[in-house]
Structure 1
Amino acid sequence: MPPARVLWVAAPNHRPDDVRSVWLRTANTQAAALETIESLAEEGEQADAVVAAPALPDGDGSAVLRAARDRWPDVACFLHGNLWAIPEGSTLPVCEFHPTGQTPSAVADAVADAVRGRYHRPYPVSDDEDRRLETVEATDFAAARADLEGLTTETESETGVHTAVVSVVDDHTVWLAAGGDDAGRRMLRRGDSPCTYAIEEPGETVIEDVGTDERLAHVEQDCYRAYAARPLSVDGVPVGTLALLRDDAGAFTDLQLDGLARYADEAERILTDAR
């Protein structure tokens, strides 16, 4: 796993000098930190963690952590320093607290552990996530694209649903490998997709009304209302799903779910051949 990508917002004497376990960007002030967050986001970069001092010369660390979490919902957030110095009225996101007595290098080790273990993520993560992501990386989805497109078209016809898609669950995102009008281009935040939860289930995942699912309440749904999926495994680990999407809420029929299971087996065969 590559070094953790960390933005550290504090005075120079409250930052680690040389930590090999992290890739470091630094800022001294709230304004500089917010500018760095926007710059990284515009460049398509993903910070893994942000460490901020509770009080900054022009603001407070909580504002920095909130801005980072708005840009990257699964970023790990840490507050390091005098916790009594948090400005009155500050609103903190969910974060990990480290008091002044802990050295920056000790905090950096905690950050590296959190990023490696992915335990700050707001969604479930496999115990074997590193191997799962290695398998995603080693699978040639481009080579499998034509066969997967044919399979999703046949799945739609057989089950009578509006759309069938093959989705790939990456580290921070979910993207379409086949199905839909913009397959290969559309990308969602991992926490915004039901596929993130479906890969953790051994069988089918059915959501009769996505709009009422608490796990996805923060997501504006405009493409589908009902969702059913099966995980697609390669080399024993799930890399994505075959999903049925309907634009109306309600239950799926037994015939539709039987078709989903059958075509998911075929999708797994296609992806295994592309490994």
Structure 2
Amino acid sequence: MDEATVVYVDPTGEADEAVAALRRAGFAVDHHTTAGDARSALDATTDAVVTEHDLPDGDGLSLLGAVRRRHPDAVCVVFTETALDEMTTADAPTVPNYLDRGREAATDRLIGLLRESIRRRSHTAYPLPTDEESRLDAVERLALETMLDDPTAVECFDRLTELAAARFGVAYAFVGVLDAHTEQFLACHGFGGEPTPREETICTYTLREDDVFVVEDVPGDPRFHDGPYDDLGVEWYAGTRIELDGRAVGTFCLAHDDPVAFDAEDRRHLRLFAEEATDQLRYRSGFDD
């Protein structure tokens, strides 16, 4: 396994020993004593966050709540002598990993847990854009749920997807916004468009592409053959990013149940649809308010 990056958050006098042990085990450790400093250090390359529960500016569970929202594939561990039933916070996420640092060989247990959790994640996690944190800031500014409750906004995106499906002669066209964990659909032509876990979408890969992303054989691609596209019988996909202030908040996509010839002019027109969706999204979401 390549050297993994661990943000370690602990203001106590026991931190130095644990940090040294993690480094001897081959981890690149970035040690901080406050939640605020740890949040500033997080980026898309962070593999794991290990935190004490009691912090000078908050608690470990609240910190991990922020980590989960911004870096959903990071391994999160509470490493503390505070009992689970004593941890109370209004911002508590589900804690996937808890270790009692008062137990015998606790640091060895931590090292083993990190190695296994990072190894498992490396086989299943989806790739994140390099600007994931600032991208999620832009998504938050959309007030997406409010916009989804606005019939005029929904109708606008419905018209765009219907026109796109007719222009390209495909069964499906859709506009999606991707937050930390889920793709939510502003409009779908040809299918129901229920919110979809991000790891099951092709669109999460589209976010990382500067140009139109085309998948010629969806069932034959190991990244996508077990996704929701199977139920629709999708064979072909093309999508491009919807950007606000240079951040990819979502995608404008096409899909079809047969292969599609897609030339340079088609790609240009798909980008035009995405640009129109971007303008409508900015106008109707209050993004600039």
Query: Which TM-score band applies after superposition, normalised by the shorter structure?
Result: 0.5 to 0.7
Name 1:208's counterpart in structure 2.
Answer: 216
Q: How does 1:112-151 map to 2 (within 5 A)?
A: 122-139=125-142, 140=144, 141-142=147-148, 143=150, 144-151=153-160
1:222 aligned counterpart, secondary structure:
helix
Counterpart Cα distance in 1 of 2:216 and 2:93: 33
Does structure 1 conserve the Cα–Cα contact (< 8 Å) formed by 2:218 and 2:235? Answer: yes
Does structure 2 conserve the Cα–Cα contact (< 8 Å) formed by 1:209 and 1:250? Answer: no
Q: Which amino acid aligns with 1:129?
A: E
Q: How does 1:92-241 map to 2 (within 5 A)?
A: 94-96=116-118, 122-139=125-142, 140=144, 141-142=147-148, 143=150, 144-180=153-189, 186-219=194-227, 221-223=230-232, 224-241=234-251
The 1:162–1:255 alpha-carbon spacing in structure 2 relative to 1, beyond 3 Å, is: farther
Structure 1 stretch displaced more, 126-135 or 220-229: 126-135
Shift in Å at residue 168 of structure 1?
1.1
Unaligned runs of 5+ in 1: 5-14, 27-32, 34-44, 54-79, 87-91, 98-117
TM-score by length of 1: 0.59
Q: Deviations over 1:215-246 (max 9, x none)?
A: 22443522122100010001210111000010
Counterpart Cα distance in 1 of 2:226 and 2:93: 20
1:186 aligned counterpart, secondary structure:
coil
2:219 aligned counterpart, secondary structure:
helix
The 1:182–1:206 alpha-carbon spacing in structure 2 relative to 1, beyond 3 Å, is: closer
Does structure 1 conserve the Cα–Cα contact (< 8 Å) formed by 2:177 and 2:251? Answer: yes
Counterpart Cα distance in 1 of 2:226 and 2:243: 28
Shift in Å at residue 169 of structure 1?
0.8
Q: Which amino acid aligns with 1:125?
A: L
2:262 aligned counterpart, secondary structure:
coil
Q: Which amino acid aligns with 2:141?
A: A
Counterpart Cα distance in 1 of 2:236 and 2:129: 25
Aligned residues: 199
Unaligned runs of 5+ in 2: 1-34, 40-50, 65-76, 78-83, 85-91, 101-105
Counterpart Cα distance in 2 of 1:173 and 1:210: 20
Question: Identity rate of aligned residues, in percent?
Answer: 28
Give the ranges of 4+ consecutive aligned residues of structure 1 lying more than 4 Å apart after TM superposition: 1-4, 80-83, 118-121
Shift in Å at residue 145 of structure 1?
1.8
Which of residues 61, 75, 91 in structure 2 aligns to 1:22?
61
Q: Which amino acid aligns with 2:189?
A: G
Q: How does 1:41-52 map to 2 (within 5 A)?
A: 47=94, 49-51=96-98
Shift in Å at residue 213 of structure 1?
1.5
TM-score by length of 2: 0.56
1:228 aligned counterpart, secondary structure:
strand
1:174 aligned counterpart, secondary structure:
strand
Does structure 2 conserve the Cα–Cα contact (< 8 Å) formed by 1:158 and 1:259? Answer: no
Counterpart Cα distance in 2 of 1:151 and 1:250: 20
Does structure 1 conserve the Cα–Cα contact (< 8 Å) formed by 2:198 and 2:204? Answer: yes
Counterpart Cα distance in 2 of 1:93 and 1:180: 44
